[in-house]
Amino acid sequence: MPLSRLLLPFLLLISTVGTRAGVVQGRVTDAQSQPLSFANVAARGTDRSAAANEQGRYQLRLPAGRYTLAFQYVGYAARLEAVRVPAGDSVLALDVALTAENYRLGEVVVRAPGRDPAYELMEQAIAWRRYHQREVAAYQARAYLKTVVGLTEMPSSLLGAKLPPPPPGLDPRVLRLEETVSELRFRQPGPAQERVISTRVSGRSQEFGSGGVAAVQMDLYQNLQRASFAPRGIVSPLADGALLHYRYELVGSSTEAGRLIHKIRVAPRHPQDPAYSGFIYLVDGSWHLHSVALSLDRSVLKDLESLHVEQQFMPAPGAPEVWVRQSQKLTFGLSVFGFKVQGTFHGVYLSYRDVVPAFPRAQPAPVAAASGAVTAETPAQFAAAPRRAALRRLTRQAARPAASDADALRPGEVRRVETGANERSAAYWDELRPVPLTADEQRHHRSQDSLEQRRQLPAYQDSLDRVFNRFRPLTAAGGGYRYRRTRRQHDFATLPLDQLLQYNTVEGVVLHASGTYQQRYAGGRRLMLTPTLRYGAAARLLSPRLAGQYLWQPQRLRTLHFAAGRSILDFNDRTQLTPAYNTYYTLWRNENYAKLYQQDAVAAGLSGELARGLTLRADLSYADRQPLRNHTDRLMLDVPGRRFTPNEPVSVELNLAPITRSQALLAEATLNWQPGQRYLTLPDRKVVFGSRYPTLQLHARQALPVLGADVRYLLAEAGLRHTQRLGLLGQSTLTATAGGFVWASRLQFMDYRHFAGNRLLLTSVFAQFQLLDYYRFSTRQRFVEAHWQHGFQGFLLNKAPLLRQLKLQEMLTLHYLHTPALGQYAEVGAGLQRDFLLLHARADVVTTLRTTQPRETGLRVRLWRDL
């Protein structure tokens, strides 16, 4: 480890101690002495800034000297206060009351009679949106984020049972408290790279927090803001087509620091529009956003009841011709079973440096809106090809990490949490924190840290384990049983009870006992062992097996896989036919869809990352495979005219040739490449975010004629996967694969290329065939397979007032398959999906398209929950 990394905590502590010359603190309120939560406080001419907490209290550390402090809050007149910070440790008290800004009409000349002047102002801002989105080529900054989640209301009872009071030491108003300090580095086209140098989760010293500052930016200069709580996205009031979705009203104008600021009310034009309500404040002439206060309600949100966004912007230090974000606050509300949850994400950008304007000469001269067209350079001129080339050249040079910059993030690394970031002391946070903690938050820190110390005691951990390890039949039936030993860092989990017993015509009643043992080691390394003991009563067939994997390089996702023993497998290795579905249809519908065989095998393999976005998995296995026959015909309901079929798959390419016992030595390799991959680096692991480019895959399986193996073939295939967001039209997902057998001198049916068909009402996945037979069209030749799915995410049904309340999502699917024996085969489906908090439901009507066969239509239903 470089010496600089070892000294980093010490150097940071020294730097903060060096700024203890003085503290300016006090309270920011309105004219009625009500606190202005999260008001901004900045020392002009410096990079020092802070923010008030929920109670309006602030503290700003400054070296000795004279300063002008600027106090700002959205919708209030900024106030300047001259202060003198004496040398040595000192505390200067300064309470400030801000007055609501007097926004007056009459500053803007109305050009179109009957049309609100806000539209002319917004047309100017929309025309310059793309310019402002690109006006900063690069910057670096330090940012602070505080996350607070708590309960604002609790029911007295739940499902008829009276709820006990909160345990001692637990304040429901603050259930989770996180703090993060990050170094941000940005250059066009982004996103910002974030290096987390300090993070703290109250009472969870081993955690690294759930998010960072760069990840929660709501950029209103983008046409559409996308987030998990709004699947369709939210149209910005500055979007190119915003006039189709918004109504605007000029509330008034006011002057601040020589700039004319317009306050404009925005509201959705139609109830179904995914748009904000609230206010935006525009700087006249330059058309920058000065600040925003916008809200969303449950009509456009998923799971949440409300979301409020507040942002404040300022001229960049050292480059006042461009504006940067000064602070951001997101507040959400959620109600679950009578529990009302409120959360706040408050980000403060403490110091900007190395701000590089992309177009230093293109800034339009300040002109009154009444004067008409913007002077200087037009939006079309700045987007010209020579200027785009200059922008690319400038951004390549800007913020380029030096060769000696050990802290620079790697390409694609969106966020990195430094080792030791969660080990800072309370004194360190007291020195660094720019937003004072409230009294409730201080109590939460003390109580949770005290509880964590208690949780670290061996006796306490053992007592918790004893409670956790109690066997609860209802829990085990639905989710399995889990046994843990916290001090030894291991646990053991079994399958749910509903998967313990199975039934099929080959084995009869099946006892399928399986569990997973997990041992965790330092540095994120992990060993997992999965023993399985399977016994089929009718066949009197015992099948023991042991599989495992060892993650030995978490940062590169490098894993060793191994397995040995006997398995009872489906001939179709891609089938959607789960054991639970097959059990039900066999016992109650007299339909034994699954066709099984026995495999005794030993296998080993390696997987991991070769380079950014490039992963390889290689496996080698030796297997003895033999067919099985039906041993029982017992069932619960005998359907007249329906009989069990033999345990022999029927395939158009099998030509009625019997499936015989065979030995196979198989070498497989799968190469995946995801260009432009973005990821998060934690001290003990790597988390992949994905990419805007398709993921490409190459796969090969070679049967080697050695060690007595009697199977010889080579299967090669290539494919891609891609998800494309289409703005308000929803999201499309495409999977396509093509390949075939280069040669196939000898192979058995389990070696064929199979396809994920489905013949049941209930389906396990919609991104596969829904009416295709499980085995009939498996091939030993070439094939082309494609699956496309598009979710409109309410784009169509939101137009109907009654249907809009149901929050249904329209789904469209298309599946295609071609083999020499099958010819052209396609399925088209349309359906509806409803997402609840953790549960999802979907139903589709699917029909086949074949030129030589009659059309088949079926209904498919799926229920699933988030893991």
Q: Is the pLDDT of residue 74 over 80?
A: yes
Q: Which residue has the higher pLDDT, 491 or 301?
A: 491
In sequence order, what E strands does 612-730 have? 614-627, 662-673, 678-682, 685-690, 695-704, 712-725
Angle 355-356-362 from CA coordinates, rounded to 5°: 125
For residues 541-548, average pLDDT: 97
Q: Which residue has the higher pLDDT, 342 or 406?
A: 342
pLDDT at 501: 92
pLDDT at 265: 96
Element (H, E) at 475: helix 473-479
CA 326 to chain centre: 25
Q: Token pair for residue 763? A: 């389906």
pLDDT at 299: 80
pLDDT at 388: 54
Residues 6+ apart with CB under 8 A from 772: 755, 757, 758, 815, 817, 825, 827
Q: Which residue has the higher pLDDT, 89 or 791?
A: 791
For residues 334-356, average pLDDT: 87
Q: Each residue of 126-141: pLDDT tens digit?
A: 999 999 998 999 999 9
Q: Each residue of 559-604: pLDDT tens digit?
A: 999 999 999 999 999 998 999 999 999 999 999 999 999 999 999 9
pLDDT, averaged across the chain: 86
pLDDT at 754: 97
> How large a percentage of the chain has pLDDT more than 70?
89
Q: Is the pLDDT of residue 113 over 80?
A: no
> How large a percentage of the chain has pLDDT more than 90?
47
Q: Is the pLDDT of residue 700 over 80?
A: yes
Amino acid at the residue 212: G
For residues 70-90, average pLDDT: 85
pLDDT band for 5, please (50, 70, 90 cuts): very low
pLDDT at 525: 93
For tokens 């260009």, the residue is 675
Q: Each residue of 619-630: pLDDT tens digit?
A: 999 999 999 999
pLDDT band for 8, please (50, 70, 90 cuts): very low
pLDDT at 379: 53
Q: Which residue has the higher pLDDT, 544 or 274?
A: 544
pLDDT at 229: 77
For residues 59-84, average pLDDT: 88
Three-class DSSP category at 76 = strand
pLDDT band for 372, please (50, 70, 90 cuts): very low
Q: Is the pLDDT of residue 407 over 80?
A: no
Residues 6+ apart with CB under 8 A from 568: 506, 507, 534, 536, 541, 543, 596, 597, 598, 599, 628
Q: Token pair for residue 238? A: 């500055």
Q: Is the pLDDT of residue 382 over 60?
A: no
Q: List the single range of 372-381, 428-437, 667-676 with lowest mean pLDDT.
A: 372-381
Q: Is the pLDDT of residue 73 over 70?
A: yes
Three-class DSSP category at 590 = coil
Per DSSP, the residues of 267-284 read EESSTTS-B-EEEEEEET
Q: Is the pLDDT of residue 486 over 50?
A: yes
Three-class DSSP category at 585 = helix
CB atoms within 10 A of CB 601: 18
CB 719 within 8 A of CB 734: no
Q: Each residue of 287-340: pLDDT tens digit?
A: 999 999 999 988 888 778 899 999 999 998 888 889 999 889 999 998 888 888
Q: What are the residues facing 158 on neighbouring strands?
A: 161
Q: Each residue of 803-849: pLDDT tens digit?
A: 777 788 899 999 999 999 999 999 999 999 988 777 889 999 999 99
* Whole-angstrom distance, CA of residue 202 vs CA of residue 180: 12
* Whole-angstrom distance, CA of residue 104 vs CA of residue 252: 4
Q: What are phi and psi of 83, to 5 degrees?
A: -135, 155
pLDDT at 292: 94
Q: List the single range of 225-234, 643-652, 842-851 with lowest mean pLDDT.
A: 225-234
For residues 627-646, average pLDDT: 92
For residues 653-678, average pLDDT: 91
CB 847 within 8 A of CB 860: no
pLDDT at 373: 37
pLDDT at 107: 59
- The whole model's pTM is what? 0.85
For residues 649-669, average pLDDT: 89
pLDDT at 165: 76
pLDDT at 191: 83
pLDDT at 444: 87
Three-class DSSP category at 584 = helix
CA separation, residue 692 to residues 223, 242, 674, 812 (Å): 17, 25, 9, 22
* Whole-angstrom distance, CA of residue 770 vs CA of residue 827: 8
For residues 73-85, average pLDDT: 88
Please tell me the chain's helix, strand, coil percentages from 3-state DSSP, rounded to the nearest 5: 15, 45, 40
* Whole-angstrom distance, CA of residue 60 vs CA of residue 69: 10
Q: What are phi and psi of 365, to 5 degrees?
A: -65, 140
Q: List the single range of 13-22, 76-85, 142-151, 230-239 with lowest mean pLDDT.
A: 13-22
pLDDT band for 475, please (50, 70, 90 cuts): confident
